[in-house]
Structure 1
Amino acid sequence: MIERIAHLREKMSQRGISYLLVTKPENRYYLSGFTGTTGVLLIGQETTDFLTDFRYIEQVKLQSPHFRVVKVEQSSPFVLVYELLRNYKAEKLFFEAEHLTYKEYQDLQSNLPGIELASCTGLVEDLRMIKDDSEMTIIRKAMQIGDKAFEHILQYIKPGRSEKDVALELEFFMRKLGASGVAFETIVASGPRSALPHGVASDRLLEDGDFITMDFGALYQGYNSDMTRTVVIGKPDKKQQEIYHIVLEAQMAGLRAVKAGIPARQADAAARSVITKYGYGEYFGHGTGHGVGLAIHENPRLNTKDETILQPGMVVTVEPGIYLPQWGGVRIEDSVLVTEDGCEILTSSPKNELIIL
């Protein structure tokens, strides 16, 4: 944590930021290790203050010993922020524009008379894009939980079960393996509903001949896993096989493209060009992937516009899909670690052939 704060201070110095207020939960955890739900960080070039209420004082002392704990007894922690800044003779405070609500901004403004407020974006998030060894140990475990859950669910799926049954079974099994919850609301979309890219589980009952797209992940020690697999119940028809293998070809092209030194959009183009080549470009309307870590969707974004240069230590998904209204769809997704000369696939569940249940 101390090293992360040192890196943050370097970035703050480069941007002319003397004091930063951190309110975003993922950023708070990244910098402090605090797993509770309430608290704000005030970070200066020589100061680190953690403001929280009575419930979390001892927890902060245990989990964030490199911070000075400031007990909040007023209704707003910003009253104490003001007192601290006055003691530090600070004239300007930067806050996280992408997290602070308008009401919180008004509260901050009213409690900091004479202090200039300025917004900043991406300061901690840029640091979070590159995972260190300790983060990767946790992320690998989260991915393993997802792989084991997929292996388990293949034995569970059968006609007559509902999509919600499948989603619940996935969550229950991942929790049994140590997950604290799901990374996001589980997507189980079957039959024609598999044409919905974010078709969260419904009451629809599974039927013979259905495609079933399952997009799910485990939340483990604060970090997320993410994987999608599409399977079929019973004998697939010719079109189902065709669409599946087009998406698989696109996904493999995307995986081959991912490596350090290329812009994120280049990996998207590699996958997208395959689907376009077969005439289904209009049915692939989302980006090819996104970063994964403390949040399920982080930078960089593997889409048509992101110029972020991929670097070793980034964890991203590669998840092209084809979605045909009233018919169904296919998505195949792996999470990967960017390396100097390629990527390491972190999700190992089978996909090379359409799995038939």
Structure 2
Amino acid sequence: MYFEKSEYLSRMKKTQQSMSEKGIDLLLVTDPANMCYLSGHDAWSFYVHQGVIVTLTDEMPIFVGRYMDAFTGVVKTTYLDEAHVRAYSDTMVHNPNHHPMERFAEVITELGCANKVIGVEMDNYWFTAAAFESLKKNLPNATFKDANLLVNWIRIIKSDQEIAYQKRAGKLAELSIQAAADAIAPGVRQCDVVAAIYAAQIKGTDEFGGDYPSIVPMLPAGETAGAPHLTWNDEPYPNDIVIAIEIAGCYRRYHSPMARTVVVGRPNPKVEDVAKIAVEGLEAALDVVKPGIYLEEMEMAFRKTLAKYGLEKEARIGYPTGLNYPPDWGEHTASIRAGDKTILQPNMSFHCIPGMYFEDFGVSISEAFYVTETGHETFAHYPRKLIYR
């Protein structure tokens, strides 16, 4: 297991307290990050329906999933015993006539909650419209309540062990950015650079290796560098091009994202000017970080820096990060943007990415950090400047 059983039980107590405050009798958790957070289950089984059920009275959750993933995979790798595992038949996988939520409804009925208030994560990638319809059909006397992000908000404050994992992820991010920088050159294929990134992400150090990040390497180049979520192809890089790279190190599912920008060939004065402004704004945002401030104060500091140069940025400049699965390493709760009144507390961790994106180029230089008792500390330590090749 990645954590002591006591830590998982503490997370369960916080979840049950939030459920009680929201009037929820039973919580169905289908987000794999939230499942892992509460149960310790870490597998690529989230492509089929699965979940953990949390009641107000049991200190442990009940895992419900596909038979081949349930007993062996869960009992041997988590703190759950067989009494807290239920399985559904493989005949329910991709079957147009039956849905796995039929089995979930049976378990909920067995628990005496068929007529209770059931919380479901209405807005995540893994709880589909068909899943909800199946639950409603098979639990006609239940009252359903949106419990989206209930567990996510508990996750926003990390334990010391979680922070330690993110620090290791930060080291993996350093190695990955350096691998990209070393590989990039005129004539080198984009896919070969990505291969170098993946090798660094997974091989890691002699002390520890890496996990698969929740997002693939993103490295838009040239005129498309202003579209930050483009990936790669097998074309070679030309000379005189700007490449905006965003990757993450990942250790035991905990992430430390990082963005840096590579200039191949002749320096571009416009790119250099924007990079200096972006770094100044990033550092201004980080400088205000301390417990007790509103999250929006980071964005305000960044915005004031941009205003000095006649620039502005429409998008948010960051989000919480940590434990996650594809397709995202963000936690979907707070945002570093105007109006966010989230109060910073120690061991909250974020990715501050004030990328500057234009129609013909883009610059992205970011930092993942956590809030300390007096300020902040970054997970990685890599120069905040353009990389020249």
Normalised to the residue count of structure 1, the TM-score between the two structures is 0.92
Which of residues 79, 102, 109 in structure 2 aligns to 1:65? Answer: 79
Residue in structure 1 matched with residue 101 of structure 2 by the alignment? 78
CA contact (8 A) 1:253 1:271 kept: yes
What do the CA deviations read for 1:1-53 (whole angstroms, capped 9, x no partner)?
Answer: 11110111111111121111111111111100011325321111113322223
The runs of 5 or more residues in structure 2 that have no matched partner are 1-7, 93-98
* Alpha-carbon distance change, 273 to 79 in structure 1, aligned in 2, over 3 angstroms: same
For 1:72 and 1:206, the matched residues in 2 are separated by 49
Deviation at 1:303, TM superposition (A): 1.6
Amino acid paired to 2:54: I
Q: How many residues align?
A: 353
Instruction: Look up the equivalent residue of 1:155 and give its one-letter code.
Output: D
Q: Deviations over 1:238-261 (max 9, x none)?
A: 323211111111111111122221
Residue 52 (str. 1) matches residue 65 (str. 2): yes
Range with greater deviation from structure 2 (263-272 or 172-181): 172-181
Identity within the alignment, %: 27
State whether residues 272 and 288 of structure 1, in contact with CA within 8 Å, keep that contact through their aligned partners in structure 2: no
* Matching residue of 2:287: 256
Which string of whole-angstrom CA distances, capped at 9 and with x for unpartnered residues, describes residues 265-286 of structure 1?
A: 21112112212321121xx332
Q: Is the 8 A contact 1:225 1:292 kept in 2?
A: yes
Instruction: Report the Cα offset of residue 145 of structure 1.
Output: 0.7
Q: Which amino acid aligns with 1:97?
A: M
- How far 1:131 moved relative to its partner? 1.0
Quick check: 1:290 aligned with 2:343?
Answer: no
Residue 107 in structure 1 maps to residue 118 in structure 2: no
Out of 30, 33, 36, the position equivalent to 1:29 is 36
Distance 1:329 1:167 in 2: 19
Contact preservation (8 Å) 1:23, 1:40 = yes
Residue 181 of structure 1: CA displacement?
A: 2.1
Distance 1:235 1:272 in 2: 30
User: Residue type of the partner of 2:55?
Assistant: G
Tell me how far 1:87 sits from its aligned partner.
Answer: 4.1
One-letter identity of the residue aligned with 2:64: L
Structure 2 SS opposite 1:301: coil
Which residue matches 1:330?
A: 363
Going from structure 1 to structure 2, the CA distance change for 1:203 and 1:62 (only over 3 Å counts) comes to closer
**Counterparts of 1:320 and 1:204, CA distance in 2:** 28
Instruction: State the Cα distance separating 1:223 from its structure 2 match.
Output: 1.9
Q: Cα 1:86–1:307, aligned 2, differ >3 Å: closer, same or farther?
A: same
Give the secondary-structure state (helix, strand or coil) at the position aligned to 1:302.
Answer: coil
* 1:300 CA drift (Å): 2.1
Aligned residue among 189, 195, 214 for 2:220: 189
Q: Which moved more, 1:29-38 or 1:84-93?
A: 84-93
- Identify if the C-alpha distance between structure 1 residues 207 and 133 changes in structure 2 by more than 3 Å, giving closer, same or farther: same
Asked whether the equivalents of residues 219 and 228 of structure 2 are also in contact (C-alpha less than 8 Å), the reply is: no
Residue 54 of structure 1: CA displacement? 2.4
Tell me the TM-score normalized by structure 2. Answer: 0.85
Rounded Cα–Cα distance in structure 2 between residues aligned with 1:196 and 1:72: 42
**Corresponding position: 1:139 with 2:166:** yes
Q: Are 2:355 and 2:365, in contact at CA under 8 Å, matched by a contact in 1?
A: yes
> What CA distance in whole angstroms lies between the structure 2 residues aligned with 1:266 and 1:211?
31
* Aligned partners of 1:280 and 1:322 also within 8 Å: no
Superimposed CA distance per residue, residues 67-90 of structure 1 (whole angstroms, 9 cap, x where no aligned partner): 512232373443444344444433
Q: Which runs of 5+ in 1 are unaligned?
A: none
Matched, 1:42 2:49: no
Deviations 1:155-201 (A, max 9, x none): 22111113333222211221222223233121112222222222322
SS at match of 2:24: coil
Q: CA deviation at 1:203?
A: 4.5
Query: For the Cα contact (< 8 Å) 2:169–2:379, is it kept in 1?
Result: no
* 1:244–1:87 distance in 2 versus 1, CA, 3 Å: closer
Quick one: structure 1 residues 111 and 255, their matched pair in 2 at CA, closer, same or farther if it must change by over 3 Å? same
1:278 paired with 2:309, answer yes
* Matched-pair contact (CA < 8 Å) for 1:183–1:226: no
* Cα contact 1:183–1:225 (8 A) shared by 2: no
2: CA distance, partners of 1:66 / 1:166:
41
Q: CA deviation at 1:309?
A: 1.5
Please state whether the residue corresponding to 2:346 is helix, strand or coil.
coil
Once residues 19 and 141 of structure 1 are traced to their aligned partners in structure 2, the CA distance between those partners, rounded to angstroms, is 35
Aligned to 2:274: 243
Counterpart-to-counterpart distance in 2, 1:165 and 1:159: 12
The one-letter code of the counterpart of 1:52 is G
In structure 2, what is the Cα distance between the partners aligned to 1:44 and 1:207? 58
Q: How does 1:277-356 map to 2 (within 5 A)?
A: 277-281=308-312, 284-295=313-324, 296-298=329-331, 299-326=333-360, 328-351=361-384, 353-356=385-388
Q: Which has the higher strand share?
A: 1
